[in-house]
A and B are shown apart, each in its own frame.
Chain A
Amino acid sequence: MKSLTPPLLRCLCLNRSMDFIRPKRMLYFWIDKIRNVLLRLSWHLVHSIINLCYFTTGMVHALESHLISRGLLRKYKSLHISKIRYLAIVIESEDACRTSNVIELLQWLAALGIKHVSLYDNEGLLKKSKDIILEKFDGAVLFQDTHENNVLLDQPRMTLEFVSFYDGKEAVARAANVLLMKYIKSGGIGSNQGEQIFTESQMSEALKTVGSGGPEPDLLLIYGPARCHLGFPAWRMRYTEIQHMGPLTCMTYGSLIKAIYRFTTVRQNYGK
């Protein structure tokens, strides 16, 4: 028998180890494959369970809203409406042209006894439609900036205010110009760095001067897909409760009642 030379021996060993390596690599490959499949399956399962939970929650909310609308839930039957002195409604500009929905909403609010409503959309479409809205909804008078707040509450009919971006940041800029003119006319007293030149109450007065001095709403309802107030006059929102209601097209009387009820149970410390 030929003796095995070192190169031949080496070659033999290499062949044997290659024979051993290949099945092992195949094994690891299939383990990884199976693990990936199991991982994806469990991810899909978790995703399905979570979607089912959200679906169930949505169905429960819809049923609750229906029961509230029918007056079948005792908890929501008596609302302390007097706690809401001023209510603001923010509507996405895309939905702001749906005047029939807006009027229906106002009718619900009037039936509940809300005395002052500010209607806001960023682009001012509601402002442009205010004549139509006031004509079709004859339960309201137009808000005049010269009204004092206590006069608003004494009105027998609802007071409607139409607000847009013009009354928000742009109004603050106009008010700042008013303050600046007064400051320059007064000779610039208190002009050292760090000294207070303007106060917050002066800014509030200046905002009234430029026609954007409405009251601070107690509750702000946002009708739109995004949970943001879309530029509602921020100066007036310090302690306003904010509730997101979903798109205007999905509004329900039940969800409105629920939002108002929730507000009436809130207790504010105002930072103290």
Chain B
Amino acid sequence: MLFSLHFSPPPVIAPLPFKPLSHVPHYHHTLNMLPSTHVLKPPLCSTMEHFTLNHHGKGGGEEEEEEEEEEVDQTLPLGLRREAMPRHVAVIMDGNRRWARSRDLPVRSGYEAGARSLRTIVELCCKWGIKVLSVFAFSSDNWFRPKVEVELLMSLFERGMQEDTSIFLRENIRISVIGDLAKLPEALQELILNLEETTKNNTHFQLIVAVSYSGQYDVVQACQRLALKAKHGLVEPGDIDTSLIEQELETNCSEFPHPDLLIRTSGEFRISNFMLWQLAYTELFFAQSLWPDFGEAELLKALLAFQQRRRRYGG
């Protein structure tokens, strides 16, 4: 199958005023979640700053004398169209253990690298106008992993939530955690409840973390909630339909409960019991890189592929 790739042409940079060096670019929203090391961007990912200058002057030498208003658009990489950005992106973060094994590192290092990768992706999603990011952090099947590994993951969740609380508050990020939380350690359950409560009014971006989650569990718990409602006379038996079930799914905590794009890393081509109901018309993108290596370039590739494909919504 032959492909064609279309990037939108670069904008024409408006002629600079008489004093080009006096213009200082502004960045709209930068999260300071990362340590000071900065990853060099490959050429294709180089961002272009769009700025327009409103000239209030009438021309001639008076321009340099007058104040110039600067409007700075939010930075998008070359080729991405803001109007075609997915509102909700879901990610299956696969490959942490393989990443560690390939470097002769302990499994812990793989998960820590994965956490850093998650911070990068959250920052990019905020910057590029994606409203919701769902991540499959811990599946209900993962409880069958070695106890040491499970305890390590729980401690990493706890530490990550504690360390990043201030960032979530500062950057107006809402945190929602979905899954069978009753199986988690009590301290972690309490931390999650507090974090959700503290950030529930944040509106800039929502991060949904699926922990102890499975797609089948989500559907069953939705049916359970409906059964309880029916017991209390709120729902008539026999009246359950797809829209009632949708309202009770755990992803209903979001304004955009259905992902537009699902990314799975590490080259595996399956959804592994993640958001089974919600992914009916979601564009699937299977990335070859392992999750700790999934960065800006790979996210850009996924978004470009998303923007190029036609989506039919069953029509």
- A residues within 8 Å of B by Cβ? 17-18, 21, 24-25, 28-29, 32, 35-36, 39-40, 43, 46-47, 50-51, 54-55, 57-59, 61-62, 92-93, 122-123, 165, 168-170, 172-173, 176-177, 179-181, 183-184, 188, 191, 193-194, 196-200, 203, 224-232, 234-235, 237-244, 246, 250, 266, 268, 270-272
Contact of A40 among B9, B240, B279 (CB under 8 A): B9
Interfacial chain A residues near B182, Cβ < 8 Å: 194
Interfacial chain B residues near A181, Cβ < 8 Å: 237-238
Interfacial chain A residues near B283, Cβ < 8 Å: 226-228
Interfacial chain A residues near B312, Cβ < 8 Å: 92, 224-226, 228, 230
Q: What string of 1s and 0s marks CB contacts (under 8 Å) between B1-26 and chain A?
A: 11111110110110110101000000
A43 engages B268 (CB within 8 Å): no
B280 engages A230 (CB within 8 Å): yes
Given contacts A29-B15, A165-B314, contact A231 B280 (CB under 8 A): yes
A166 to B59, CA, bound (A): 67
Identify the closest chain A residue to B305 (Cβ).
A227
Task: Give min CB distance, B271 to chain A, whole Å.
Answer: 7
Task: Give min CB distance, B314 to chain A, whole Å.
Answer: 4
Q: State which of B114-122, B124-132, B212-220 sits at the interface with chain A.
A: B212-220
Given contacts A191-B231, A194-B182, contact A266 B16 (CB under 8 A): no
Interfacial chain A residues near B157, Cβ < 8 Å: none
What is the size, in residues, of chain B's interface with A at 8 Å between Cβ atoms?
A: 67
Given contacts A28-B15, A191-B228, contact A180 B276 (CB under 8 A): no
A238 to B270, CA, bound (A): 8
Contact of B223 among A122, A176, A224 (CB under 8 A): A176
Q: Is B245 an interface residue, CB under 8 A from the partner?
A: yes
A129 to B242, CA, bound (A): 26
17 sampled A-B residue pairs with Cβ under 8 A: A21-B61, A43-B9, A47-B7, A59-B2, A196-B224, A197-B227, A200-B217, A200-B220, A203-B223, A230-B280, A234-B276, A237-B271, A238-B271, A238-B272, A240-B270, A266-B268, A271-B272
The 6 residue pairs across chains A and B that have the minimum distance between CB atoms: A271-B141, A58-B2, A234-B276, A54-B3, A238-B273, A122-B314
B13 engages A271 (CB within 8 Å): no
- Besides the contacts A227-B283, A228-B279, A231-B281, what 11 more A-B pairs have beta carbons closer than 8 Å? A17-B61, A61-B1, A92-B312, A93-B315, A176-B226, A184-B231, A200-B216, A225-B312, A226-B283, A228-B311, A238-B215
A89 to B216, CA, bound (A): 22
B215 engages A234 (CB within 8 Å): yes
A92 to B311, CA, bound (A): 11
Contact of B285 among A21, A57, A61, A227 (CB under 8 A): A227
Contact of A235 among B4, B216, B228, B286 (CB under 8 A): B216
Q: What string of 1s and 0s marks CB contacts (under 8 Å) between B224-261 and chain A?
A: 10111011000001111110110000000000000000
A172 engages B141 (CB within 8 Å): no
A169 engages B242 (CB within 8 Å): yes
A55 engages B2 (CB within 8 Å): yes
B311 engages A226 (CB within 8 Å): yes
Q: Is B309 an interface residue, CB under 8 A from the partner?
A: yes
A239 to B268, CA, bound (A): 11
Identify the closest chain A residue to B235 (Cβ).
A180
Interfacial chain B residues near A183, Cβ < 8 Å: 227, 230-231
A235 engages B276 (CB within 8 Å): yes
A232 to B276, CA, bound (A): 10
Interfacial chain B residues near A176, Cβ < 8 Å: 223, 226, 240, 245
